[in-house]
Amino acid sequence: MKPIKYFYIIFFLSFFNQVANAQKPELVPTKKEPKKFLEYYIGDYKFKERNNWVLFGFGPTFYPVIKNINNANFCVDYHFFDKKDRLWFTGYRAITQEYLALGGGTIYLHDFKFGRSVYRIEKQYWKVAGFIGPSFNYAAYYPLDTARSIKGDKTFGVGIQAQAEIILKPVYDFGISVTPFINYNTIQPVAGLTISVYGSNAMIRKNIQSKQR
């Protein structure tokens, strides 16, 4: 092959390579936009979507079924955000025979719980959130042990628990929550419903400068 043919081959290969490179899109680094939270104004107050809240309430426990006894629960929960906008909660639930609010009852299971939100949506007058996480449990006897043969035998256990919170908040910072829950643990699995009072820190005055999140 003559040298001139090598020249033409190299020339055309270089030309097509330049054309192919010219058609490649340039990669422009994208700037991550900070997440925006819902905020709305009513009178002299601003209400923000990202807020901590607390629940305090009582309700029926559907499982286990204890004959001739109202199986009940008492619960306190605190919900909070971390710096990366992840929602967590920690709380305590007591499973009782009869309702403590009515002056009776014996606590047979203490449940210390912690978890992270797996779902959350919030509007001006309502919010829904779901949580799951571990539980640490302490009991004096098993409620299904009707003879109470192991009463006084203190027992510790661990488990996994989940709960959903359906919250109505007509007064913005105050409202009511309906919370179905389940706790599957090594002592006594339980499931029930808690009706709670809701309180949050969503309301702030306009003239208070909030820190940039």
Name the more confident of 41 and 184.
184
For residue 43, the 8-state DSSP code is T
Name the more confident of 17 and 75.
75
Q: Is 166 exposed, middle or buried (0-12, 13-18, 19+ CB in 10 A)?
A: middle
Spatial neighbors of 25 by CB under 8 A, at least 6 apart, are none
Tens digits of residue pLDDT in 46-90: 666 678 999 999 999 999 888 788 899 999 999 999 888 899 999
- Contact criterion met (CB below 8 Å) for 160 and 181: no
What domains sit in the chain, N to C, each tagged with a CATH number? 39-205 (2.40.160.20)
- Contact criterion met (CB below 8 Å) for 64 and 188: yes
Per-residue pLDDT band for 201 (boundaries 50, 70, 90) equals confident
Residues forming beta bridges with residue 44, ordered by sequence position: none
pLDDT of residue 74: 93
Residues 169, 177: Cα–Cα separation, whole Å: 9
- pTM for the whole structure: 0.72
Residues 73, 94: Cα–Cα separation, whole Å: 6
